[in-house]
C-alpha cells in the first residue's frame, strides 16, 4: 500500500502525533516546514521537526528553559532570598505559651506542698535530736542553772511555823492529869492527859500566831473503841459545836492501846496570843485521852 492510496489525507490521520511535529513557522497549522517546501498530498513525509526535550520548547518571548537535570540560571535557593534561612533548614515551629493564670496556681500549690514537707522534715529532725538528749546525752546548762542567787528578799515572806505541843505540857484543871500507862501515845515521853471523864476537867493551850484568821486545830487522842467529844473554848468563848473525837482507828471496845488516832476542827484566832481550852462539859462524852495538839493552815 502506498501513501497515495492508503486513504490518509492529513498528517493527523496518518500519524496521531503528527501535530507535535508542526513547524513553529507554519501558518494556521498548515503543516508546512520552516526549512522545506510544502508537503504534497499522497507523498510520504520525509522530514519532521526536531524532537525537543520536554520543557525546552519556547512559547512567545519566554527565555529558554535549561535541559532537565541542569540548574536554571534564574533559580535561587530559598536561603539566598531576603528573609531566607542561612542554614538552609526550616525554622522549628515554637509551641504556644501556656496560660499564665493556671500555671501560676499550679506553681503556688507546688510551693505550698514543698514548704509543708520541709517543715515536717525539720520537726522530725528536731524531735529526733530531743530524743537523743533524753536518752542520756548531756543537755548542757539550763536556764535554772544560770540564775544567780539574789540577795533581795522575797516579796512573800515564808509561812511561819505553826505551833505544836504535847498535851502533857498544857495547863490541866478539874482533875485532869497525865499518865503513861497505855502504850501507843505519840509524844516523845509516851505521856498523855487522862481523867477527863469528869465534868469541868480541862486542858488549856496558850499559843501565839503571826496573823489573825482561820486555822485547823488538830488533836491527837485515844478512845476505848467508842466515840467521844469535848467542848472547844477559844479565847474565853465556848463554841456551839464540840470537837468530834470518834473511834476512827476502829479499835474494839475497851482496847485503849489500839484507839490512838487524830481529828480536827476549824477555829478563828487573833493575831498574837490566843487560848484554846478542851473541856468536859454537860452533854459531852469525855472518855478520852489526849496526847498532842497542833495548828495547820485551813
pLDDT of residue 204: 98
Residue 39 cell numbers, joined: 508537503
20 φ/ψ sector (left φ>0, alpha ψ -120 to 50, else beta): alpha
Give the residue from 295, 291, 110 showing the smallest Cα distance to 209. Answer: 295
DSSP annotation of 225 reads: S
Residue with grid cell 520525509, as numbered in its chain? 46
Give the residue from 213, 231, 217 showing the smallest Cα distance to 269. Answer: 213
Banded model confidence at residue 236, pLDDT cuts 50, 70, 90: very high
pLDDT digits (tens, 9 = 90+) for 142-178: 444 334 444 444 444 456 789 999 999 999 999 999 9
Higher pLDDT, 59 or 123: 123
pLDDT of residue 279: 98
DSSP annotation of 108 reads: H
276 DSSP β-pair partners: 205, 234
pLDDT of residue 148: 45
Higher pLDDT, 75 or 114: 114
Per-residue CA distances from 81 to 66, 72, 87, 88, 281 (Å): 21, 16, 12, 11, 136
pLDDT of residue 118: 85
Banded model confidence at residue 106, pLDDT cuts 50, 70, 90: confident
The CA distance from 33 to 27, in Å, is 10
pLDDT of residue 122: 74
Full-prediction pTM beyond 0.85? no
pLDDT above 90: percentage of residues in the chain:
46
Torsion of CA 141, 144, 150, 155, to 10 degrees: 170
pLDDT of residue 153: 42
pLDDT digits (tens, 9 = 90+) for 275-298: 999 999 999 999 999 999 999 999
Angle subtended at Cα 123 by Cα 117 and Cα 127, rounded to the nearest 5 degrees: 145
pLDDT digits (tens, 9 = 90+) for 29-87: 444 444 445 556 665 655 555 556 555 555 555 555 555 555 555 555 555 555 554 44
pLDDT of residue 70: 56
4-8, 192-196, 210-214: least confident range: 4-8
Amino acid at each position: 500500500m502506498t501513501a497515495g492510496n492508503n486513504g490518509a489525507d492529513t498528517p493527523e490521520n496518518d500519524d496521531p502525533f503528527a501535530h507535535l511535529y508542526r513547524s513553529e513557522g507554519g501558518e494556521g497549522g498548515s503543516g508546512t516546514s520552516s526549512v522545506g517546501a510544502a508537503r504534497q498530498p499522497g507523498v510520504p513525509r520525509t522530514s519532521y521537526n526536531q524532537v525537543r526535550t520536554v520543557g525546552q520548547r519556547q512559547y512567545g518571548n519566554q527565555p529558554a528553559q535549561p535541559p532537565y537535570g541542569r540548574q536554571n540560571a534564574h533559580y535561587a535557593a530559598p536561603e539566598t532570598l531576603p528573609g531566607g534561612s542561612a542554614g538552609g533548614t526550616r525554622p522549628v515551629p515554637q509551641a504556644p505559651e501556656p496560660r499564665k493564670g493556671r500555671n501560676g496556681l499550679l506553681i503556688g500549690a507546688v510551693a505550698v506542698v514543698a514548704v509543708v514537707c520541709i517543715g515536717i522534715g525539720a520537726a522530725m529532725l528536731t524531735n529526733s535530736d530531743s530524743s537523743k538528749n533524753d536518752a542520756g546525752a548531756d543537755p548542757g546548762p539550763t536556764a535554772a542553772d544560770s540564775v544567780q542567787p539574789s540577795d533581795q528578799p522575797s516579796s512573800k515572806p515564808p509561812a511561819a511555823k505553826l505551833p505544836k505541843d504535847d498535851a502533857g505540857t498544857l495547863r490541866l484543871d478539874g482533875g485532869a492529869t497525865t499518865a503513861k500507862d497505855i502504850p501507843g501515845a505519840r509524844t516523845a515521853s509516851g505521856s498523855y492527859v487522862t481523867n477527863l471523864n469528869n465534868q469541868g476537867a480541862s486542858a488549856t493551850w496558850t499559843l501565839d500566831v503571826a496573823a489573825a484568821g482561820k486555822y485547823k486545830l488538830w488533836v491527837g487522842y485515844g478512845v476505848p473503841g467508842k466515840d467521844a467529844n469535848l467542848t472547844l473554848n477559844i479565847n474565853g468563848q465556848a463554841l456551839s459545836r464540840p470537837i468530834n473525837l470518834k473511834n476512827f482507828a476502829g479499835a474494839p471496845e475497851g482496847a485503849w492501846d489500839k484507839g490512838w488516832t487524830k481529828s480536827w476542827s476549824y477555829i478563828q484566832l487573833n493575831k498574837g496570843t490566843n487560848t484554846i481550852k478542851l473541856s468536859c462539859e454537860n452533854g459531852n462524852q469525855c472518855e478520852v485521852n489526849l496526847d498532842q495538839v497542833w495548828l495547820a493552815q485551813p
